[in-house]
């Protein structure tokens, strides 16, 4: 008799995990991940500290600048209470470098099988970016059960997520939407049962960082966290 039981959530069948359940649970508690890039290493630690002061417990620091990895190292050493994600991982080499720098997890804007496989090999929890059912299907085939939906709003927003995810609902997949999400629509995503957390670049405005206005970042973070706690 053929066993048609779906594989357990997060289980790749060989004992490995693309995204451990304990990290998903922590994201479920935090609900929002602050996404940003760092242009100057001197800004890395005070920026992270200002987010923590406002109630943010997780970040996605992107590798879009030459100092990205160094900024990850500095934050990991100085702000250990943060759950540190590294974004814009485009190559297997970047996945390795992110892990070595102190990343707790990684994400990418696209679905690159080579990056997923490297992340599995080195034990880096990883969520590939998907924008279509075909990409989602390929990610599932590679063992992923937690994926980044990007760019969420440009794709069609919450209605697109509901429509695209419907055929896969029985698999227990979970989604990490980013792109175009702000204070005005974040709760719509967070009310979806298959969305543990969202990514929010609106928490860190580049002008505030340029002016080193850390209090403005803390105030924005506090407003967002208070809204989430009150409304959900």
Q: According to the model, what pLDDT value does residue 11 have? A: 44
Strand-pairing partners, residue 107, are 127
Q: How far apart are CA 60 and CA 53, in angstroms?
A: 17
**Residue positions annotated with a catalytic role:** 60, 148
Strand-pairing partners, residue 34, are 59, 200
Q: How far apart are CA 165 and CA 156, in angstroms?
A: 13
Walk along the chain (232 residues) and give the pLDDT tens digit of each residue. Answer: 444 444 444 344 433 458 999 999 999 999 999 999 999 999 999 999 999 999 999 999 999 999 999 999 999 999 999 999 999 999 999 999 999 999 999 999 999 999 999 999 999 999 999 999 999 999 999 999 999 999 999 999 999 999 999 999 999 999 999 999 999 999 999 999 999 999 999 999 999 999 999 999 999 999 999 999 999 9
* 44 CA to centre of own chain: 18
Q: How far apart are CA 196 and CA 176, in angstroms?
A: 7
Q: According to the model, what pLDDT value does residue 18 have? A: 84
Cis previous bond, 33, omega within 30? no
Residue 205 neighbours by CB under 8 Å, 6+ apart: 216, 217, 220
């Amino acid at each position: 008799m053929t066993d048609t039981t779906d594989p357990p959530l997060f289980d790749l069948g060989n004992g490995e995990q693309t995204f451990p359940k304990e990290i998903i649970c922590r994201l479920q508690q935090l609900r929002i991940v602050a996404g940003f890039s760092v242009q100057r290493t001197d800004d890395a630690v005070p920026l992270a500290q200002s987010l923590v002061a406002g109630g943010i417990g997780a970040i996605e620091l992107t590798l879009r600048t030459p100092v990205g990895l160094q900024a990850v190292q500095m934050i990991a050493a100085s702000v250990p209470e943060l759950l540190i994600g590294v974004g814009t991982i485009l190559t297997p080499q970047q996945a390795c470098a992110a892990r070595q720098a102190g990343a707790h997890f990684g994400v990418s804007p696209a679905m690159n099988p080579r990056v997923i496989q490297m992340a599995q090999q080195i034990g880096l929890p990883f969520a590939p970016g998907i924008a279509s059912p075909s990409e989602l299907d390929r990610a599932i085939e590679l063992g992923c059960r937690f994926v980044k939906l990007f760019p969420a709003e440009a794709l069609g927003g919450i209605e697109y997520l509901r429509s695209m995810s419907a055929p896969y609902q029985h698999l227990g997949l979970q989604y990490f939407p980013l792109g175009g999400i702000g204070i005005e629509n974040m709760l719509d995503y967070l009310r979806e049962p298959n969305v543990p957390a969202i990514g929010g670049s609106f928490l860190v405005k580049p002008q505030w960082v340029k002016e080193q206005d850390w209090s403005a970042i803390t105030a924005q973070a506090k407003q967002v966290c208070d809204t989430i706690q009150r409304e959900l």
